[in-house]
A and B are shown apart, each in its own frame.
Chain A
Amino acid sequence: IIKWRPISYGRLFATITPDSKKQHHGGLSDQDRIFTNLYCDQDPFINGALKRGDWHRTKDILCCPQEFILDEIKKSGLRGRGGAGFASGVKYSFMPKKSDGRPSYLVVNADESEPATCKDREIIRHDPHKLLEGALIVGYAMRAKAAYIYIRGEFWDEANRLNKAIDEAYEKGFIGKNSCGSGFPFDIYVHSGAGAYICGEETALLESIEGKTGKPRMKPPFPAGIGLYGCPTTVTNVETVAVCPSILKRGGNWFASFGRVNNRGVKLYCISGHVNNPCTVEEEMSIPLRELVERHAGGVRGGWDNLLGIIPGGSSTPIIPKSVCDTVLMDFDDLKDAGTSLGTAGVIVLDKSTDVIDDILRLAKFYRHESCGQCTPCREGTGWMEDMLERFKIGNADYAEIDMLYQLSKQIEGHTICALGDAAAWPVQGLIKNFRHVMEERIDKYKAEHPVTNVPRVLSHLPKKGSHQIYLLNQRKQFHNYE
């Protein structure tokens, strides 16, 4: 007996109750911007940084109790900017308050390999001292001994700049044995990667720093218990850490004044793809997607009506069609209600001239290339998905195979050691959910051009066009939010 309840996905899984007085978010003023040197108008190194206010009275912050710093970050509502969106104040408070003989480490994740994301690159090459100051403050708050900044190998120029900035900071005494004159010893080191997307995952990153192949570990044990070299570690994104000095200096309440409830603060958005003005901007959270694209990115090529779909958070997030893009806000909760997620806020805009199956195929190729090969669902599954999408691109398939592809992606998602399996499965699920008609048209066209007779079909029941919901009901699988 199968229960089929008509569910309106809009309201049932809503994670935020609508505010009584709905504010319009967007339109951040330049005074409220944190990264003022985003386009390198001024000197990115120590002279320009001192003029911009970095390292100004950091000693006062280092003399505050650590609980105060953690409470400020919790009050500001900062959520992780690396894609997962976990509350940063809570995450930093997982570190041990009293050491049991092992030193603690802070690791900054500057491995920006997610397609469509280029925000950390701007922070590192144009405002490195914000990052260093943030690492010092957060390291002090979690009683860490040293910070390792893991930067990807392809960022050769950015790594050079970061090394230069670190040398300058050591010279001026901002970090080192007596950082900023407060008596707290702290070191910052840069470790370069060598070209692997999987090393952006936190446990794979720790393995890579330890000098082994970057294959993720099982969690539990979590890095806050056993991490780098077996010591308590926290892995954070560059933007999360670089925003912390401004939070402490201007107040957690100031940061919480932007964005909606639970989605506070400002964010760097990277808009790429078929827009007239691809750029990186710093804007408030919860800005409507349409306003972001039209105001800062010059609008979609050929007008808003020429839009086919948008991938809102880097390549791991499902694609959303135009009907959703009209009204969705760019924050963690609203996009989760829409069936996708904010991720790293790398917006890819697709207009009607593009072949959406080809784009998702290229992403599937990317994930197959970057899979580390440790666990079977990811290693084999990404290859199968790519092969199936190759056939879907020309249309050499059946309608039932669309559902097979969906079921395959469901078997990869959640059954892997790390989140690369999920990241590989979600774009395919987004394609099938929102652009199934494109795939079916392609199949019809191919069948019209290559008629086949007397070929025995593998499946005994061939679902009709558009009947994927009945097929899924027959599978009796657990319904996810994304459905």
Chain B
Amino acid sequence: NDDTYFEFTPDNYKDIDKILKKYPKNYKQSGTIPLLMLAQKQNNNFLTLAAMNKVAKILEVPPISVYEVASFYAMFNRTKVGKYHLQICGTTPCQLCGAKDIMKACEDHLHIKMGQTTADGLFTLEEVECLGACVNAPMLQVNNEWVYEDLTPEIMKSMIDTWKKGGTIKPGPQKGGRKNSEGPLGRTTLLKIEPRVKIRDMPEAVKNWEDEIKKKANEAAEKKKKAEDDARRKAEERIQNLKKVE
């Protein structure tokens, strides 16, 4: 692993310049994650030690900082993975909707266990944590890119067969033809596309707000003056009462 050589392509160097422009010049370390993702993508989804060293040299940080980041985050593959890295979500919402059946279907179809790669290097199975599409459970992600939702074991098997032959599949909900996150039985909201809503006049709103503030300030000043007057009157009455007693 130490002896392998890694160098970014010239196109990737242009991307690196674009990425580093986003951050202040003296905080180049911010580019660690984007550059590591770029290196991993260039290298067939495999992040080598040489790549990490190269990134450290570009960012002018000690290599240990880059090693720390690469081992902390879950998406960096520090071992070789197959051409299709099937990341199946197994957290509770997906598990309730049958993620375990999907995983078992994959294992049976590919004759490997979770976490292993097939002999021809095409598929790697991995169970990952919540991928953020819980409404379309169960679902999986391939190569950290496209997401395939609404799966069943049969659909899973047909998808694997398509990939084995070299075909592509349209990402998104695979079953039932539902549109994104509306319910599979049909949507209950946004039934009609509404025209643009009327917006209030901003300068008028600001004027109202300023008037309100002035009014509140005036009221507070009046209240304070009234309190002072009351206090003064009470003091005078007390003095008069004392005089009467005398």
Contacts and interface: CB of A to CB of B under 8 A. Distances in A.
Given A33-B190, A196-B73, A191 B34 contact: yes
B197 interface: yes
Interface in B126-179: 128-137, 141, 144-147, 171, 179
Interface SS majority for chain B: loop
Q: How large is the interface on B (under 10, 10 to 19, 20 to 34, 35 or more residues)?
A: 35 or more
A280 interface: yes
Contacts of A153: 33, 37, 73, 75, 144
B189 A121 contact: no
Given A36-B190, A211-B30, A116 B134 contact: yes
Contacts of B194: 30-31, 33, 36
B34 A278 contact: no
A354 B98 CA distance: 11
Given A30-B191, A193-B33, A272-B134, A57 B73 contact: no
Contacts of B82: none
B188 A194 contact: no
Interface in A276-322: 276-283, 295-298, 311, 315
Contact of B74 (A195, A273, A281): A195
Contact of A298 (B31, B144, B183): B183
A369 B128 CA distance: 10
A421 to B, nearest CB: 18
A115 B96 contact: no
Contacts of B72: 196, 213-214, 372
Contact of A39 (B28, B31, B180): B180
A68 B203 CA distance: 11
Contacts of A311: 92
B189 A270 contact: no
A63 B203 CA distance: 9
Contacts of B75: 153-154, 194-195
A113 B132 contact: yes
A39 B132 contact: no
Given A211-B69, A278-B135, A30 B192 contact: yes
A17 B69 CA distance: 49
A238 B34 CA distance: 21
A394 interface: no
A93 B136 CA distance: 38
Interface stretch (A3-11, A358-366, A436-444, A464-472): A358-366
Contacts of B137: 272, 278
Given A56-B199, A279-B181, A116 B92 contact: yes
A63 B133 CA distance: 39
A118 B135 CA distance: 7
Nearest to A62: B202
Contacts of B201: 60
A348 B188 contact: no
Contacts of B147: 157
B196 A51 contact: yes
Nearest to A59: B202
A363 B193 contact: no
A165 interface: no
Contact of B180 (A30, A40, A298, A350): A40
Contact of B202 (A41, A57, A270, A366): A57
A189 B21 CA distance: 10
B189 A196 contact: no
Contact of B91 (A157, A295, A354, A363): A363
Interface string B24-40: 10011111111011000
Nearest to A111: B132
Contact of B95 (A53, A72, A359): A359
Interface of A: 28, 30-31, 33, 36, 38-42, 51-53, 56-57, 60-61, 63-65, 68, 71-72, 112-118, 121-122, 126, 152-157, 189, 191-197, 208-214, 229, 248-251, 270-274, 276-283, 295-298, 311, 315, 346, 348, 350, 354, 359, 362-363, 366, 369-370, 372
Given A296-B189, A298-B183, 5 more contacts: A38-B181, A193-B33, A211-B61, A348-B96, A363-B91
